[in-house]
Structure 1
Amino acid sequence: MTPDQRFARRVQAAIVLFVLLFAYFLAADLWMPITPQAQLTRPVLRIAPRVDGQVLDVAVANNQHVEAGQLLFRLDPEPFRLAVHSAELALEQAGQDNSQLDAAIAAARAEQAAAQASATELQREAARLGRLVQSQHVSRQLYEQTESRRQAAQAKLAAAGARIRELSAQRGADGADNLRLRQARNALEQARLQLGYSEVRAERGGTLSNLQLSSGAFLHAGNPVAALVADEADISADFREKALRYVRLEDGASVVFDALPGHIFDARVTAIDAGVKEGQLDANGDLAAPAVSDRWVRDAQRQRLHVSLTEALPLVLPSGAKATVQLYPRDSRLADLFGRLQIAVISILHYVY
């Protein structure tokens, strides 16, 4: 075989190999998609006090794992105890005020009864004098004086009724529905709640990070002092749109982490995001701004899906750990076989890079 023939054969073999690889990548992108753009994320909670106060003591250390409800640090509770005591005194004062109002209402009703008796008596006396003045047995002056006293008694009776209504409005409802007592009890509950907030506890299990806190520091409500990385993990992976054509929820998957080379974890597709930021339009009043590109073939859009491991990790990986995700969207043994070969090669390559 001449050198030209050998060269021609090599060219033909290279062309055949290129065509086979090209066909393989086309088929793999549809029936056994894989992406290295995946990572493990954990919910991160910002730890912040709900009230202002000075740190009395810190019960945990940085990077320590804590359970839900575990005490993290404590603020000086004395100001909050004093606030609770003050609210208790205010509740007691509210009860005494109601008792005083009850006594005042009773006195006003007694005055009303006395005014009613006086007004009734003067009403009868004025009626008698009115009949006598017509027969000229009494003077008109006496009648007019009696009529004036009757009107004054009626006015005093009306004033007594108004006083009772005023005191009753101040007193409010009886029993537990009394407004003054409800306000005092609400203030007491708020004071007790703030006393409880003086102890800052973990809302969920996780690992504390970036805790830089010491006794004596003064904290303001809402200002974060540490981060709590939760134990729950979510694995998100970005695929080209075309690669997700046949993917459905609960499809099988495999995951390889950069931190655990050679270890392939079984997983399931749990969610597919409804869109990406580029597909979100802001109603800002501006006109549309079409994207302009001078490329003949634009970059493929990527969509995000989430997978969940069906087996436990041998160690706790940090939030942000990189991974590679292999999907098995078709019920095909051949596609599954090649997909598992792909992810196995990737898991071995992780020993290198």
Structure 2
Amino acid sequence: MIVVLLNVYLAVLFCLVKFRIVPFNLFWKVSPVLVLLLLLVGLFIPMGWGAPQGTALTVRNSVAIVPDVSGEVIEVPVIANTTLKEGDVLFRIDPVPFKAKVDALQAQLDLAQLRLSETTRLKETGAGRAFDAEQSQAEVNQLQAQLVGAKWDLDKTIVRAPADGYVTNLALRKGARVSSLPVAPVMAFIDTTDTIIGVEVPQINARYIEVGQPVEATFKYMPGKVYPGKVEGVLQAVSAGQARVSGTAVTPDSIQSAPMVVRIKLDDAEFARKLPAGSVGTAAIFTDHVGAAHVIRKVLLRQVAITNYLNPF
């Protein structure tokens, strides 16, 4: 862009000299250099913090699906990379042993309740002890609690989608045995209810960024188009500044200026929802400073959007 502006100035200067509007003296000969320095110092360098630009990355929350009960899988109705709604069935575990436990506890509870009614009647007539009635009540309470847990286990034999999204890299099949151990997830569920778009901005350009400022972004997934949005927040930490719990003394690392991450939200919610996880692009944030540079940044961003047709990197 600075080359374009400088060439425009040279063309205007040529016309002024050609038609003898200005004399071609030493000042006008060195004026292109002065204009170049003026553009650099007065516009393009301040544009870095007035309208910072950085690489954008689309991220989605991934949920490791671990069943709450162990058993043999009898059905996997889900199809990989197919849109699912919250509550849709992912897979089913054989419910027979869990149903048998519920039936057994229900039978014990019925008997305990019958015994409780008998001991209570005997106590009221003076023919029985109060302790026997209290013991029967405790047994009923215990069985009721066990029955609630057994029914919960039975219900968890049907594993459902935790949110709107899709399952990716699906390898689970009927006949596989799954475990409730948290270290053994059986599938990865991608949550599409919230689209996270982060923009990397160099630290020297991040000082004027605030929540609510306008944003424009273009993605290689959709070349040639620019999408408006707003700043949702500025992440207040990067891994280089994180103190980890350890039993050793501080181990010095080479200190580098890691970029800050700014989270943005696109105005087009439907397009944001369709963005695949891992989609990359370029985004520009328009702060309240160096307003004259905003137009140039918009032009530069649209140049990037057009070159996305050709540039795969």
1:62–1:212 Cα contact (<8 Å) kept: no
Q: Which of 181, 190, 200 is equivalent to 1:229?
A: 190
> How far apart, CA to CA, are the structure 1 residues paired with 2:250 and 2:207?
29
After superposition, residues 165-176 of structure 1 pair within 5 angstroms as: 168-172=130-134
Following TM superposition, by how much is the alpha carbon of 1:69 offset from its aligned partner in structure 2, in angstroms?
0.8
1:88 is aligned, of 87, 106, 128, to: 106
What is the match of residue 263 of structure 2?
306
Q: Residue 209 of structure 1 aligns with which residue?
A: 168
Whether 1:346 aligns to 2:304 is yes
Q: Which ranges in structure 2 are unaligned for 5 or more consecutive residues?
A: 1-25
Q: How does 1:62-77 map to 2 (within 5 A)?
A: 62-77=80-95
1:320–1:67 CA distance, 2 compared to 1 (3 A): same
Q: Give the TM-score normalised by structure 2.
A: 0.79
Aligned residue for 2:78, secondary structure, equals coil
Q: 1:330 aligns to what?
A: 288
One-letter amino acid matched to 1:171? A
Coordinate RMSD, CA, aligned: 2.9
Aligned pair in 2 of structure 1 residues 170, 334: CA closer, same or farther (>3 Å)? farther
For 2:272 and 2:62, the matched residues in 1 are separated by 22
Q: Is 1:191 matched with 2:209?
A: no
Q: Structure 1, residues 129-161: CA drift from partner, whole Å, max 9, x if none?
A: xxxxxxxxxxxxxxxxxxxxxxxxxxxxxxxxx
Are 1:28 and 2:47 counterparts?
Answer: yes
Aligned length: 280
The 8 Å contact of residues 92 and 159 in structure 2, kept in 1 or not, is answered as yes
**Matching residue within 210, 217, 231 for 1:269:** 231
What is the deviation of 1:85?
Answer: 0.1
Normalised by the size of structure 1, how large is the TM-score? 0.71
Aligned partners of 2:51 and 2:290 also within 8 Å = no
Specify the code of the residue in structure 2 equivalent to 1:70: D
Q: Give the Cα–Cα distance (whole angstroms) in 1 for the partners of residues 156 and 246 of structure 2.
A: 41
Q: Using the alignment, how far apart are the partners of 2:145 and 2:73 within structure 1?
A: 27
Structure 1: which 4+ aligned runs deviate by more than 4 Å? 11-18, 99-107, 285-293
Give the one of 219, 242, 253 matched to 2:215: 253
Contact 1:249 1:271 in 2 (8 A): yes
Q: Which protein, 1 or 2, shows the higher relative CO under an 8 Å CA cutoff with sep ≥ 6?
A: 1
Task: Measure, in 2, the Cα distance between the counterparts of 1:328 and 1:83.
Answer: 63
* Residue type of the alignment partner of 2:169: N
Query: CA 1:187–1:250 in structure 2 vs 1: closer, same or farther (change >3 Å)?
Result: same
1:4 paired residue number: none
From the superposition, tell whether residues 225 and 20 of structure 1 become closer, same or farther in structure 2 (CA, over 3 Å).
farther
Alignment of 1:107-122 (within 5 A): none
**What is the letter of the counterpart of residue 205 of structure 2?**
A
Equivalent position SS for 2:264: strand
Matches of 2:44 and 2:241, distance apart in 1: 28
- Rounded to whole Å, the distance in 1 between the matches of 2:52 and 2:85 is 38
Deviation for aligned residue 1:30: 1.3
The 1:50–1:14 alpha-carbon spacing in structure 2 relative to 1, beyond 3 Å, is farther
Aligned-pair identity (%): 22
Per-residue deviation, 1:60: 1.6
Cα distance in 2, alignment partners of residues 218 and 290 from structure 1: 47
